[in-house]
Copies of this chain bind each other. A is one copy, B any other.
């Protein structure tokens, strides 16, 4: 029954067993999902990694393996480590911006206090 095979078994041109480790996570209507993980990790590694997990965690693992595989296909040098580097830069920028803003508060409150003192002096002198 060819039409019932999952994307992995179609790709590997084999019968899809009823307890196929790939079938729940690689449906036949999304063949590029399996093609990506197969290209980067290899079918047997993906099967083994899923098999070693409890069934309720396999869907998440399949999703993250697919994400990693897609990143590596798009960026063969850095893969999703490139994403991590960019996020670290973004955190550095946000923290730098926060430190600057906090410094501005201190400076502005000092200037404000000085201006207030000056204004009091002026007021007293005028009267």
Cβ-defined partner of A60 (8 Å) among B53, B57, B78: B78
In the complex, chain B residues whose CB is within 8 Å of the CB of A79: 64-65, 68
**A56-73: which have CB < 8 Å to B?**
57, 60-61, 64-65, 67-68, 72
User: For the complex formed by this chain, how many copies does it contain in all?
Assistant: 2
In the complex, chain B residues whose CB is within 8 Å of the CB of A102: 101
Is A20's beta carbon under 8 Å from chain B? no
Cβ-defined partner of A41 (8 Å) among B42, B76, B105: B42
* 27 sample A-B contacts, Cβ–Cβ < 8 Å, listed by A number: A41-B41, A41-B42, A41-B45, A42-B42, A42-B45, A52-B76, A53-B76, A60-B77, A61-B77, A64-B78, A64-B82, A65-B79, A67-B81, A68-B72, A83-B84, A84-B87, A87-B88, A90-B91, A91-B91, A98-B98, A101-B102, A104-B105, A116-B116, A123-B123, A123-B124, A123-B127, A127-B127
